[in-house]
Chains A and B, each alone.
Chain A
Amino acid sequence: MIASGIRWPMVAATKSNNEITRELVAPNEEELPIWWYVGMGLGTLMLAYGAWAFYMSLTVGIGTWGLTNSVGWGWDIINFVWWIGIGHAGTAFTIFFLVFRQRWAASINRTAEAMTVFAVLCAALFPLLHMGRPWLAFFIMPYPNTRLLWVNFNSPLLWDVFAISTYLLMSITLWYFGMVPDLATMRDRAKNKVSRAIYGFFSMGWNGSMIAYNRYETLTRILGGLAAPLVISVHTIVALDFSISILPGWHATILPPYFFVGAIFSGFAMVLTIMILLRKAFKISDFITDKHFDAITNVLKFGSLVIGLAYAIEIFIAWYSGVEYEMYTFLNARATGSFSTAFWIMVFCNAIAPQVFWFKKARRNVWILFTVSIIINIGMWFERFIILISSLAEDFLPSSWTDYSPTLVDIGIYVGTFGIFICGMLLFIRFIPIIAVNEVKAFKKDGN
Chain B
Amino acid sequence: MEKKYWQSIEETRADFKPEAEEKETSMMEVLANEANDKSSSRRDFLKWCGISFFSATVISACENPVKKAIPYLHQPETLTPGKASWYASSLVDGNQFCSVLVKSRDGRPIKIEGNDLCKFTGGGTNAITQASVLSLYDDGARYKYPTKNGEKINWEAADREIKKALQEAGEKGKKCYLVTPTLLSSSATELITFLKAKYPALEFVSWDTVSYEAIRQAHNQTFNIPAIPDYHFDKAELIVSFSADFLATWLAPVSFANRYAKTRKLSDTKKTMSQHIHFEAGMSVTGSNADERIAVKPSTELEIIMELYNEMASLTGNPVFSSPATDFDTKTLAREILSKKGKAIIVCGHNNEEAQILINAINHMAESYGNTLDNAQPLNFGLDSKEAMDKMIENMEGGNTELVMFYKTNPLYNHPKADKIKEAMANVPISVSFATAKDETAKECTYILPDNHYLESWGEAMPKLGTYTLMQPVMQPIFNTRQFQSSLLAWMDMDTDYHAYIKTFAERTLFPKQNEYSDFQQFWLNTLQAGVFVTDETLNFNINLSQVAISDAIARLKNKTSTAGDIQFMTHQNVAVADGAYANNPWLQELPDPVTKITWDNFAAISPKFADENRLKDGDIISINGLEIPVAAQPGQAYGCISIALGYGREYAGKVGDHTGVNAFRLLNDKAFPWNVQSWEKTGSGYEFARSQTHHSMEGRHIVRESTLDKYKENSKAGNEIRDYHLKHMVTLYPGHKYEGHHWALMVDLNACTGCSTCVIACQAENNTPVVGKDEVRRRRIMHWMRIDRYYTGDAENPGVVYQPLMCQHCDNAPCENVCPVSATNHSHEGINQMAYNRCVGTKYCINNCPYKVRRFNWFQYAKNDKFDYHMNSDLGRMILNPDVTVRERGVVEKCSFCIQRIQEGKLKAKNERRKLKDGDITPACAGSCPSNALVFGDLNDPDSRVAKLVKDPRNYHLLEELHTLPTVGYLTKIRNKKG
Contact = CB atoms under 8 A, between A and B. Distances in A.
Given A69-B855, A157-B843, A403-B694, A139 B780 contact: no
Nearest to B698: A398
A402 interface: yes
Interface in B751-788: 776, 779-782, 787
A63 B860 contact: yes
Given A151-B821, A324-B701, A62 B891 contact: yes
Given A131-B842, A399-B695, 11 more contacts: A62-B842, A62-B859, A132-B841, A152-B818, A157-B821, A328-B699, A394-B695, A397-B703, A397-B789, A397-B806, A397-B852
B851 interface: yes
Interface of B: 693-701, 703, 776, 779-782, 787, 789-791, 804, 806, 815, 818-823, 839-845, 847-849, 851-853, 855-861, 889-893, 959-960, 963, 965
A156 B963 CA distance: 20
Nearest to B702: A324
A132 B857 contact: yes
B890 A401 contact: no
Residue from A62, A134, A246 with most neighbouring chain B CB atoms (10 Å): A246
A62 B893 CA distance: 13
A396 B857 contact: no
B889 to A, nearest CB: 7
Closest A-B pairs by Cβ, 4 of them? A132-B842, A132-B891, A63-B859, A72-B844
Given A395-B853, A398-B701, A399-B806, A61 B861 contact: yes
A124 interface: no
Nearest to A65: B859
A77 to B, nearest CB: 9
A60 B858 CA distance: 11
A396 B702 CA distance: 10
Interface of A: 60-63, 66-70, 72-73, 127, 130-134, 136-137, 139-140, 149-152, 154-158, 161, 241, 244-247, 324-325, 328, 392, 394-403
Nearest to A161: B821
Contacts of A132: 840-844, 857-858, 890-893
Given A152-B821, A399-B806, A131 B841 contact: yes
Nearest to A153: B821
Contact of B693 (A62, A324, A399): A399
Contacts of A151: 821-823
Residue from A67, A158, A394, A397 with most neighbouring chain B CB atoms (10 Å): A397
A63 to B, nearest CB: 3
Contact of B841 (A70, A139, A396): A139
B791 A152 contact: no
Contacts of B890: 61, 63, 132-133
25 contacts: A60-B860, A61-B891, A68-B780, A69-B855, A69-B857, A70-B853, A132-B858, A132-B890, A132-B891, A132-B892, A132-B893, A151-B822, A152-B820, A154-B818, A157-B845, A246-B849, A394-B695, A396-B853, A397-B789, A397-B960, A398-B701, A399-B787, A399-B790, A402-B694, A403-B780
Nearest to B788: A399
A66 B781 CA distance: 10
Nearest to A404: B780
A136 B841 contact: yes
A398 B697 contact: yes
Contact of A67 (B696, B790, B859, B960): B859
Residue from A137, A158, A399, A401 with most neighbouring chain B CB atoms (10 Å): A399
Given A72-B857, A133-B892, A397-B853, A392 B848 contact: yes
B818 A69 contact: no
B849 A247 contact: yes
A247 B848 CA distance: 8
Contacts of A60: 860
Given A69-B780, A398-B791, A399-B789, A130 B844 contact: yes
Nearest to B819: A155
Contacts of A139: 822, 839, 841
Contacts of B821: 140, 151-152, 155, 157-158, 161
Contacts of A161: 821
Contacts of A130: 843-844
Contacts of A394: 695
Contacts of A156: 819
Given A132-B892, A247-B849, A399-B791, A73 B844 contact: yes
B824 to A, nearest CB: 8
Contacts of B791: 398-399
Contacts of B960: 396-397
B14 to A, nearest CB: 45
A133 B890 CA distance: 7
A368 B695 CA distance: 43
A131 B843 contact: yes
A67 B844 contact: yes
Nearest to A149: B839
Contact of A133 (B695, B853, B889): B889
A187 B165 CA distance: 102
A356 B960 CA distance: 45
Residue from B857, B959, B965 with most neighbouring chain A CB atoms (10 Å): B857
A315 B845 CA distance: 25
B840 to A, nearest CB: 7
A410 to B, nearest CB: 12
A241 B693 CA distance: 28
B639 to A, nearest CB: 26
Contacts of B857: 67, 69, 72, 132
Residue from A152, A247, A402, A403 with most neighbouring chain B CB atoms (10 Å): A152
Nearest to A332: B699
Given A152-B820, A246-B851, A401 B695 contact: yes
Contacts of A402: 694, 780
B694 A140 contact: no
Contacts of B819: 154-157, 244-245
Contacts of B776: 63
Residue from B776, B779, B806 with most neighbouring chain A CB atoms (10 Å): B779
A133 B856 CA distance: 15
A207 to B, nearest CB: 43
Nearest to A394: B695
A399 B592 CA distance: 13
Contacts of B963: 246, 396
B839 A68 contact: no
A245 B781 CA distance: 22
A244 B893 CA distance: 20
Given A61-B861, A63-B781, A158-B821, A245 B848 contact: yes
Contacts of B697: 398
A72 B847 contact: yes
Nearest to B597: A399
A68 B956 CA distance: 31
Nearest to B852: A397
Nearest to A155: B821
A161 B841 CA distance: 14
A135 B842 CA distance: 11
A133 to B, nearest CB: 4
Nearest to B892: A132
A150 B843 contact: no
Contact of A61 (B822, B843, B860): B860
A333 B446 CA distance: 62
Nearest to B823: A152
Contacts of A149: 822-823, 839
Contacts of A137: 841
Given A133-B841, A157-B843, A396-B852, A70 B891 contact: no
B618 to A, nearest CB: 13
A61 B859 contact: yes
Nearest to B867: A60
Contacts of B701: 324-325, 396, 398
Nearest to B856: A69
A294 B158 CA distance: 95
A130 B842 CA distance: 8
